[in-house]
Amino acid sequence: MKHLILSLSLWILIGLLGCNSKSGHQSVKVPQKSATETLLTMDCLHCHSISDRLVGPPYLDISRRYHSEYGIKPKLMTKIKEGGGGLWYGGVMSGHPLIKDMELSLLVDWILSLEDRRDAFWDRYAQSTSMRQLDEVDSTILSWQSLHEGRPIQTGSAHSIHLLGSESFPSHDRKTTIQFTGQLPIPKTGKYFIRLIKTGKGQIKIGDKILLPLDPKNREAVIDLQKGSQPIAVTHQLTGKNDTLSLSWLPPGADFYELIQW
């Protein structure tokens, strides 16, 4: 009887050791990169942006051109992987053989979805920001002032920058500049796409860095931000026409732009 108990104990011990040995050799599953993570870790942004045209077309233009074309996904995947011309307004693109097939598939799906995401953005944010005029600026949210030829004429506060049409602005005079200042709330550390849709000239400064210059063609940039807050200043020179000014970002892990809220 003792011999039987000893034998069973040995077999149980061997079984436990075997289980531990197998678990010690299990492969660790690496989390799949999202489409935007792939963009940020590869060299995609050297030639493309989401909205702005760089060396190649913006991803929104690619989506607009191909999102409803049947069977286009494998063609785009092959073109990104191998490079070449014929799908990019006649330009020639270098190949990206290091992108994994699954990540490439997610990236192409995301690119093709951008036209619908853009429409959803404007549906979601159909209303302009309320520009409250105040004698004393509320320092806990975004402050603004309008200046006529450099002289302050109005002050106030807002919870976002999303002005659609000249009637949304406190002034329509072409000699007027509007400036927004405040502390940018940063929910997590990472790379952020920042976008300023603007009619004419507009500038973004975060901390000591001018992220977007006044140049009307520069509407989008990527910046590394640490969790916490950073001073932000947005300047816009009115054109006197049907002006638009909208500040949004694409935070780490998100799939498209959303308004920055205070």
Answer whether 82's CB lies under 8 Å from 18's CB.
Answer: no
- Residue 56 has a pLDDT of 84
Is residue 102 annotated as involved in ligand binding?
no
Partner residues linked to 181 by β-bridges: 143, 233
How far is 62 from 91, CA to CA, in rounded Å?
13
- The one-character DSSP state at 47 is T
Query: What is the CATH code for 132-259?
Result: 3.90.182.10
Is residue 3 annotated as involved in ligand binding?
no
How far is 112 from 61, CA to CA, in rounded Å?
10
Q: How confident is the model at residue 212 (pLDDT cuts 50, 70, 90)?
A: very high
How far is 231 from 225, CA to CA, in rounded Å?
12
Is residue 48 annotated as involved in ligand binding?
yes
DSSP secondary structure of 145-179: EEEETTEEEEEEEESS-EEESGGGSS---TTEEEE
pLDDT of 107 strictly over 70: yes
- Residue 137 has a pLDDT of 60
How far is 96 from 98, CA to CA, in rounded Å?
6
Q: Where are the domains of the chain?
A: 35-124, 132-259
pLDDT of 175 strictly over 70: yes
Start-end of H helices in the chain? 2-24, 35-41, 59-66, 72-82, 101-124
Question: What does the block give as tokens for 121?
Answer: 């953005």
Helices (H) then strands (E): counts for the chain: 5, 14
pLDDT of 3 strictly over 70: no
- Residue 10 has a pLDDT of 42
78 Cβ contact partners less than 8 Å away, ≥ 6 residues apart? none
- pTM listed for this prediction: 0.82
Sole residue written with tokens 């507009």? 202
Greatest Cα pair distance, the chain, in angstroms, is 103
How far is 76 from 42, CA to CA, in rounded Å?
17
pLDDT of 18 strictly over 80: no
Do the domains spanning 35-124 and 132-259 agree at the CATH topology level? no
- Residue 168 has a pLDDT of 83
How far is 159 from 143, CA to CA, in rounded Å?
9
Q: Which CATH superfamily is domain 35-124 in?
A: Cytochrome c-like domain (1.10.760.10)
